[in-house]
Chains A and B, each alone.
Chain A
């Protein structure tokens, strides 16, 4: 009846088994985590057709929603969960061959990190969301601190302190909201009588703070560049793709279904959207400008990811059909292309022994595959025609322009950001394929080739034939835009 909850439990089981398994074999950790993520993908795909027909409310402990905790299985959330599991297993594949053996606790923490991202996407209870957020913060700060260079602990501390401070403020917001509404379920908020405007704005800002911080929106993203640069490549990839995707989903859920026009926040809906629009536009400009000036390859990718998340936030804030379609396509293409870019960047940095892209001049002429993969990822991220980002950006700009007024500025920011993105990625790719520099040919192991080829194929396939994901996109957008029929009525 409520068996779908198992989808969330595969990595938990793996995590609990790891301390016993590593007594037997040192490879147990990676094998069982990989198995659990693959099981998650299969389980999710089995349940996807049924969920596409009708969203499901999975209750826990037999307590009906406003009183107990529930998980919400809709096309939107289940699709994102499958994506998360997919990227997590690709990251582990990359890990399998490209790093020395790690201690079992690494895989344990990684499993818990995946659990927390999946839980954030699925949960329907605001305090449960906070708990999952904290779990992810603890696991990811430990994993960042294990980073490649000595600045790892410092970067991770910066991240941890900001994340913990904002999450605590979120807890305060939850308390204030509870004292006014008397429930913690998010579906209750989405159709409750209106809060006082000032009080609603206060609680909304407090609750949105950690979400904005996790998706790296402007005033709260000072940790991002350093953290992504110092973490291990495989973890930067997953942190950038999985965690930011989960954060984007939570933001979309908050802005569109919980703080909509009929909700408890109905008096401040417009203000919240405006706030996110302004912050998102600033994020695009600042992130892309920082990426333009940056010399270290992984930092460039981090700032580029900041810019992309800004675009997604702007798309969510416009809250139209086209803009949401653009934002969702961009969310997918960001996750896939960024994973590809981080894998190749990690490979290149290891082979060349430097982390600055200017010093990697001509590396693509000898190492065709990494250079080619990087080019494909960059092109997909910037949004050249026939790649996944293209449809996203077209729809996004069209959709953000539609409401008019200040949203035109948001569209302009997206356009400018895309141009800057194009400039620096072209510069990097060109320098990779220039003459000069003497690099040795390298052998490619399956741990690098397999994930990269899969991601490349996914990026090109969704670009050439976007109808492939159209069905999923349409049902997700309907769900987000009609919260009453597709969210609240199903849960309550």
Chain B
């Protein structure tokens, strides 16, 4: 048995070296044609994201992007947020559905723990955890609501809120009821769907931004991005908390 395992390991290592060699040869081929990194930033679709001129037919018309100016097609200063929540919002919607599927599946498959080793945390932890939770949730709200200006957004903020609840699960036996997460999650999803459908009926395409984009760099700007990111934050937070609650007991 032991020897067999060793043989399998060696065989797999050889296989992997082969794979690596093939990939190396494929990437360093000297024949003619496009290859890795042959598209510079100017050739990529992101170039138009940076200059916020996707829906303009003449790409060169908009020559510069200025902070504080308004009237851009998308008002987010953080381009990654612009991509996630505006240009490719449908992808993000599908990811949210994936999280929804995961939390529903975990709820469906998990059972309650039978043998519980009861271990309450000590008094220091129990006093510290609520404060840390409060602090974490405040930071998470900051991250979610400033997603269009600085790094972060609904996903990281939602995960932070969920980790605050994880702390609570670790420290206390009595937990926040799971039922609320299970209802909050589809509610946020319905909110997202409502946003998309109102875009469809007001602007003629699903998930079109129908709110004013505001001036670039302002706190209240970027149209629907703030709303969508808040909804995503709620959804991710409740989904991940529900998953953690299922796993922890």
Interface centre among B44, B55, B105, B185 (most CB of A within 10 A): B105
Report the bound CA distance from A5 to B109 in whole Å: 32
Residue in B31, B89, B209 whose CB lies within 8 Å of A196? B31
Give chain A's interface residue range (CB within 8 Å of chain B): 35 or more
- The distance in angstroms between the C-alpha atoms of A257 and B88, with both chains bound, is 23
Contact A69 B26 (CB under 8 A): no
How distant is the Cα of A20 from the Cα of B101 in the complex, in angstroms?
A: 16
B100 interfacial by beta-carbon distance below 8 Å = yes
A108 to B182, CA, bound (A): 12
The answer to whether B87 and A67 have CB atoms under 8 Å apart is: yes
A93 at the interface (CB under 8 A from B): no
For the complex, what is the distance from the CA of A134 to the CA of B48, rounded to whole Å?
29
Q: Do B205 and A62 touch (CB < 8 A)?
A: yes
A135 touches B94 (CB 8 A): yes
A267 B104 Cβ-Cβ under 8 A: no
Q: By DSSP majority rule, is chain B's interface helix, strand, loop, or mixed?
A: helix
Partner of B199, one of A6, A61, A193: A61
Interchain CB contact under 8 A, B98 and A9: no
Interface-facing stretch out of A73-81, A137-145, A239-247: A137-145
Instruction: Check if A106 is an interface residue, CB within 8 A of chain B.
Output: yes
Residue B90 CB within 8 A of the other chain: yes
Q: How many A-B contacts if CB must be within 8 Å? A: 180
Contact status B203-A195, CB under 8 Å: no
B27 within 8 A of A: yes
Instruction: Determine if A37 is an interface residue (Cβ-Cβ < 8 Å).
Output: no
Cβ-neighbour of B108 out of A59, A106, A112 (below 8 A): A106
A131 and B189: CB pair below 8 A?
Answer: no
Contacts of A115 in B (CB 8 A): 97
Q: Does A419 contact B (CB under 8 A)?
A: no
Binds A, one of B35-43, B129-137, B213-221: B35-43
Q: Report A's interface with B, CB cutoff 8 A.
A: 1-3, 5-6, 9, 12-13, 15-20, 59-64, 66-69, 103, 105-106, 108-109, 112, 115, 119, 125, 127-128, 131-132, 134-135, 138-139, 141-142, 145-146, 176, 178-184, 192-202, 264, 267
List of B residues within 8 angstroms of A109 by Cβ: 101, 104-105, 108
Contact with A along B129-159 (1 / 0, CB 8 A): 0000000000000000000000000000000
Q: Are B205 and A1 within 8 A (Cβ)?
A: yes
Instruction: Describe A's contact surface by its main secondary structure.
Output: helix
Tell me if B109 and A184 are in contact (CB < 8 A): no
- The reply to whether B36 and A199 form a contact with Cβ atoms under 8 Å apart is yes
The count of residues in chain B whose C-beta lies closer than 8 Å to any C-beta of chain A is 57
CB-contact partner of B206 in A5, A132, A134, A198, under 8 A: A5
Asked if A64 and B55 sit within 8 Å, CB to CB, the answer is: yes
B60 at the interface (CB under 8 A from A): no
Residue of B nearest to A185 (CB): B45
Shortest Cβ distance from A52 into chain B, in angstroms? Answer: 23
Known: A108-B100, A127-B88. 10 other contacts (CB 8 A): A3-B200, A9-B193, A16-B186, A16-B189, A60-B89, A60-B206, A67-B45, A115-B97, A184-B45, A199-B29
B20 contacts partner chain A, Cβ-Cβ < 8 Å: no
Bound together, the chains give a CA A181 to CA B23 distance in angstroms of 18
Kindly identify which residue among B27, B45, B206 contacts A66, using a CB–CB cutoff of 8 Å.
Answer: B45
- Cβ–Cβ contact B35 & A64, under 8 A: no
Whether the pair B108, A105 counts as a contact (CB closer than 8 A) is: yes
Contacts A3-B200, A19-B186, A180-B38 given; does A197 touch B101 at CB 8 Å: no
Expressed in whole angstroms, the minimum distance between the Cβ of A114 and any Cβ of chain B is: 12
Which residues of B are found within 8 Å of A112, using beta-carbon distances? 97, 100-101, 104
> Within 8 Å of chain A (Cβ to Cβ): is B63?
no
- B34 touching A193, Cβ below 8 Å: yes
